[in-house]
Amino acid sequence: MIDLDKIRQDTPGCEKLIHFNNAGAALMPSQVVKAVQNYLAIEEYEGGYETADRYADELKDFYGYAARLLNCQARNIAFTTNATDSYNRALSAIDFKPGDVILLTENDYPSNYIALISLQKRFDLRLVTIRNTLSGEVDLNDLDEKLKKYAPRLVSVSHVPTSSGLVQPAVKIGEIIKKYDALYLLDACQSLGQLNVDAIATHADFISGTFRKFLRGPRGAGLLYVSDKALAAGLEPLFIDLRGATWVTPDQYISGNDARRFEDWETSYALMTGCTEALKYLIGIGISHIEARNAELIGKLKNELGKIDRIRLLDRGSQQCSIVTFSIAGTKEEVTQFYHDHSINIYTTSKSSAIIDFQNKGIDWAVRVSPHYYNTESEITRFVEVTQMRNS
């Protein structure tokens, strides 16, 4: 189903090392790198504005492919610089009033928490956290009760947190939120590219994402999905610019109709072409094949890591994904260096990325390992051997 030989040929970095940091930034397929390089080479000789004019039709492809990824329409997609940028643009569109409540989860991304705390300080908002179930995901009954009790303006959920393999029930959450008059902002930064995210099924008003992670696109690029409902309600970023609006009289502008009202005029078209290639590449393989392949790899990894003494697997939630976290003796720096010395890329996550979760788990940091479909079973075996060596 997955042509692994071809995929690994397209991923030359695979030959040199074991890359288990796809939740940080994946290895890009060479098609993605070439698209960016080719576009920049044309800009070099023809000029940036002129190249964008000449390639206007091809550049539009980005929106169509991103819409296929999310099962929506091209009009619902904005190109941004990263997931945090997307999240903050969505947030800035909401005209919060003093006393408004925002519901969020214990596992929301730290920058999202920081933005919300900053908003809270400036606009006198109230942040209320939804409880987790004993298995670790959002408690849907508590969500329902808090929606009833607080009538929040916004519910913010990170589909997959940065710091563990937990998958929040994004669709079930959306089904509950839609009964109330609250906006739903879904951070799908870690889920896009490894899990099927159907924007319509989630009932989300906004979905933020980034390209460099499981989507295997270039760094410095992201996307924002804006629902038809949010567009029709006239939601627009606070600092809308002349990409999203037209200045018509000295004190008036008219906003555009589609999600591009959330974009900036100045943007990297070279990166956009790379993102389009990354989307085509993913669609060519099929997200269901990717999900199935990753589940196999992760099953093997967890099973074998679980047999090693003094390794504590940390991931919770009734659904989990291609991020595995564990505790091991030593410091973050020593452990990262140790794997690096064995040509394995891993990442460590600190408590400041998961204050509530790591406090509950009683840890200060964790090793984060995030294989993707282009990794192999033998790489997993090698990783486990190296981990055993470290612990012996």
Ligand X SMILES: Cc1ncc(COP(=O)(O)O)c(C=O)c1O
Binding residues for ligand X, per CB under 6 A? 82-84, 109, 111, 158, 161-162, 187, 189-190, 210, 222
What does 282-341 look like in DSSP terms, one character per residue?
HHHH-HHHHHHHHHHHHHHHHHHHTTSTT-EE---SSSB-S-EEEE-SS-HHHHHHHHHH
In the complex with ligand X, the residue whose CB is nearer, 76 or 107, is 107
- Structure tokens that stand for 72 in this block: 């929506």
Residue 372 Cβ vs ligand X, minimum distance, rounded to whole Å: 15
In the complex with ligand X, the residue whose CB is nearer, 169 or 222, is 222
In the complex with ligand X, the residue whose CB is nearer, 366 or 384, is 366
- Structure tokens that stand for 304 in this block: 């074998």
- Structure tokens that stand for 18 in this block: 């074991």
Q: How far is CA 57 from CA 35, 41, 62, 132, 265, in A?
A: 15, 18, 10, 46, 17
Residue 105 Cβ vs ligand X, minimum distance, rounded to whole Å: 11
End-to-end CA distance of the chain: 38
Phi, psi (5° rounding) for residue 124?
Answer: 60, 50
In the complex with ligand X, the residue whose CB is nearer, 138 or 384, is 138
In the complex with ligand X, the residue whose CB is nearer, 221 or 384, is 221
Residue 111 Cβ vs ligand X, minimum distance, rounded to whole Å: 6
In the block, residue with structure tokens 């980034």: 210
Q: Are 378 and 184 in contact (CB under 8 A)?
A: no
Residue 9 Cβ vs ligand X, minimum distance, rounded to whole Å: 28
Residue 383 Cβ vs ligand X, minimum distance, rounded to whole Å: 21
Residue 84 Cβ vs ligand X, minimum distance, rounded to whole Å: 3
| CA nearest to 162, candidates 24, 298, 318, 346 | 24
In the complex with ligand X, the residue whose CB is nearer, 210 or 273, is 210
In the complex with ligand X, the residue whose CB is nearer, 159 or 293, is 159
Residue 219 Cβ vs ligand X, minimum distance, rounded to whole Å: 8
- CB-based contacts of 128, cutoff 8 Å, min separation 6: 101, 102, 103, 104, 146, 150, 152
